[in-house]
Amino acid sequence: MTVRQSWQIYEGAILNPALASALAAFVEKGYHGSSMREVAAGAGLSVPGLYHHYPSKQALLVGITESAMDELLDRSRRAEEEAGPAPTDRFAAVVQSLLLFHIHRRDVAFICSTEIRSLEPAHRVAYVAKRDEQQRMLDAIVADGVRSGDFDTAHPMDASRAVTTMCVGVASWYRPDGALSPEELVTIYLDIAQRIVGA
């Protein structure tokens, strides 16, 4: 029986060697500046071996973005489920989940944000659908909080989007050797998020 780790804990690799190598190349050189040969070398594979599993560079990008969104949605769903019914607790848990993901998976989150333009139309639609699902999760929590009187904002959907944008933005600047630890950053940003929705 497989035991899933807590949604708050980030340990071990989530990407196989080929996708991890592609991620490193895309972060360093961008999607269009990276080659299949470089990705294969970074993964310890022959070029034909890489093509056997990923027939194109687009397939690598899709593999990275799908893995990222699947993990984020899974962690956020579990965070909300474990928080219980109160909108304030659900909001805190999902915001923490968003922040932790964009701290600990900052490279993959950065590529998802910057290389969405490089996804082919059908893949972009699929990615945006998952991103929208994540946003609707937070939208629903904020709407519930306004109805219950726990949140005081005249613009719940805009407040929800502002919170998500703030959390996503962490991936572009956070560094492990920076001034804030993950715990400190989550505490500060959760306070800001709660103020945005009028908690």
pLDDT along the chain (199 residues), means of 10: 72 89 96 95 95 95 96 96 96 97 94 94 96 96 97 96 96 91 95 96
Count of Cβ atoms closer than 10 Å to residue 160 Cβ: 26
- Whether 97 contacts 7, CB under 8 Å: yes
- Whether 20 contacts 68, CB under 8 Å: no
Which pLDDT score is estimated for 86? Answer: 96
Domains and CATH numbers, the chain: 59-196 (1.10.357.10)
Residue 12: phi and psi, rounded to 5, are: 80, 165
**Cα 154 from Cα 152, distance rounded (Å):** 7
**Cα 190 from Cα 134, distance rounded (Å):** 17
Which pLDDT score is estimated for 4? Answer: 63
